[in-house]
Homo-oligomer: A and B are copies of this chain.
Amino acid sequence: MPATWVPNVDPASEFSLANIPFGIISTPADSSPHPAVAIGSSVLDLKVLAAEPDFGKVFPSLQDGAHVFSANSLNAFAALGRPVHRQVRKDIQELLSEGTAHAAFLRDNAALRERALLPQRGVKMHLPMEIGDYTDFYAGRHHAYFLGVMFRGPQNALQPNYTHLPVGYHGRASSVVVSGTPVRRPWGQILLDPAAEPKVPTTAPCRRLDIELELGCFLCKPNEMGTPVGVDEAEEHIFGYVLLNDWSARDIQTWEYVPLGPFNSKNFCSTISPWVVLADALEPFRTKGIENETELQDYLREAREDNVLDIRLEVDITTPEGDTTTISRTSAKNLMWSFPQMIAHHSLGGCPMRTGDLLGSGTISGTEASERGSLLEISEGGKKDIMLCGMDTRRFLKDGDTISIRGRCGGEGERVGFGDCVGRIYSAIQR
């Protein structure tokens, strides 16, 4: 990867020239949300660029850059398809490289640089995509196994269908928010004493508020109703990835989820990181997922083995007092199902998927105690204190706690990351 002429790009930055993630910003000069990419501690405003007369010369693959880059979501850009994303990312990398062929367009154009290259801390980030439907899978086998042991013992930890199909459920698109959005502790129906008979619930603020460390995947290419996506074609349907914290109300979940699945325990908020890292930027970090010894149905058999991504994931909790503890370190490779398998399964019966749809991986946990992606696992079902810096402990989240997830790949100078996926817990509303 060549060096960039953009000033102050720290070699440790997750927004190296090797990344070029896309997001939606608003700026002091333009309060209408619009596309940008991140580079070092700056953003490059694509709407400003696209208004330049020579834009078409620098980005010949974009027939209508002004339209795509003045939209308030990335959907129009995503809909152009993988070959265009690939070329535009290359064109931006070239534009920002020291020896760029287009030096006159931006590098040596002080007036444009001043309008287009802005400090990240001076812009506001918005939800990057208009999400039609959101589906959450359960592909983190270690997580599923750990929860299964907790609820049903080691003999029946995984349901019989678990290794045959990527289990998933439809989530709530309206509740997906961008990093930084306040997370309100939900009220819900809760069984205070689950063992008591008859079972009589109480309506109260959630007492077992949890996180779920996930990878999110945005789709770019739609399929028509009735037409499944083949597992080896599914990669062409993937726009890019974000970090996803699928906040979960465990006490509400326990009472509500039989027989139709999680509902209010999940639909109050799901936080995603602000930058969509293009699928192409993550190609170098492909690896093999968790082995599945079950003989797969044909439609789930992939030609390639390196079907998941080795992204280093970290979860920090910061207490209201300001003490920060890293409570989990794992990798996104801890999935037993790949996103192409999820897409092939999701569309098997003909379900139409659209540009902007979001798929969640399910909670990602490793095998070790330090690698678990939910507090429910770390606290072993809420039975064990999690020790925090500042002499504090947690089993579940307290009001004022902040959770921050990071995801990074690659080494210095060519690091690829997502930006923080952050949410702070606010007290339940007064009723």
Contacts and interface: CB of A to CB of B under 8 A. Distances in A.
A168 interface: yes
Given A161-B255, A170-B171, A269-B225, A264 B348 contact: yes
A250 B244 CA distance: 32
A269 to B, nearest CB: 7
Interface stretch (A17-25, A186-194, A333-341): A186-194
B159 A258 contact: yes
B174 A354 contact: yes
Contact of A256 (B161, B171, B267, B354): B161
A120 B264 CA distance: 41
Q: Of A161, A188, A206, A429, which is in contact with the most chain B CB atoms at under 10 Å from its CB?
A: A161
A201 interface: yes
A70 B140 CA distance: 47
Given A168-B260, A349-B268, A297 B225 contact: no
A352 interface: yes
A133 B160 CA distance: 30
A227 B187 CA distance: 10
B349 A172 contact: no
A299 interface: yes
Contacts of A138: 260
Interface in A258-286: 258-265, 267-269
A142 interface: no
A55 interface: no
A177 to B, nearest CB: 7
A62 to B, nearest CB: 27
A370 interface: no
Contact of A226 (B184, B263, B348, B354): B184
B133 A172 contact: yes
Given A188-B348, A349-B249, A169 B261 contact: yes
A198 B298 CA distance: 19
Nearest to A258: B159
B260 A259 contact: no
Interface in A199-239: 199-201, 203, 206, 225-228
Nearest to A266: B170
B263 A170 contact: yes
A201 to B, nearest CB: 5
B169 A297 contact: no
A200 B159 CA distance: 12
Contact of A169 (B132, B159, B169, B201): B169
A351 B267 contact: yes
Contacts of A47: none
A299 B203 contact: yes
A227 B429 CA distance: 8
A165 to B, nearest CB: 5
Contacts of A132: 173-174
A327 B184 CA distance: 47
Q: Of A171, A172, A260, A269, which is in contact with the most chain B CB atoms at under 10 Å from its CB?
A: A260
A171 B262 CA distance: 12
A322 to B, nearest CB: 24
Q: Of A138, A256, A265, A357, which is in contact with the most chain B CB atoms at under 10 Å from its CB?
A: A256
A164 interface: yes
Contacts of A167: 256, 259-260, 263
Contacts of A164: 189, 200-201
Given A164-B189, A226-B429, A203 B169 contact: no
21 contacts: A133-B172, A138-B260, A165-B189, A167-B260, A169-B170, A172-B351, A174-B353, A175-B351, A186-B349, A187-B350, A188-B348, A189-B297, A203-B298, A203-B348, A225-B268, A226-B268, A228-B429, A267-B346, A267-B351, A268-B351, A299-B431
Given A133-B174, A186-B348, A225-B268, 20 more contacts: A159-B259, A160-B198, A160-B199, A167-B260, A169-B169, A169-B260, A169-B261, A170-B170, A170-B171, A170-B172, A174-B353, A174-B354, A174-B357, A186-B350, A260-B262, A264-B351, A267-B349, A268-B349, A268-B350, A269-B350
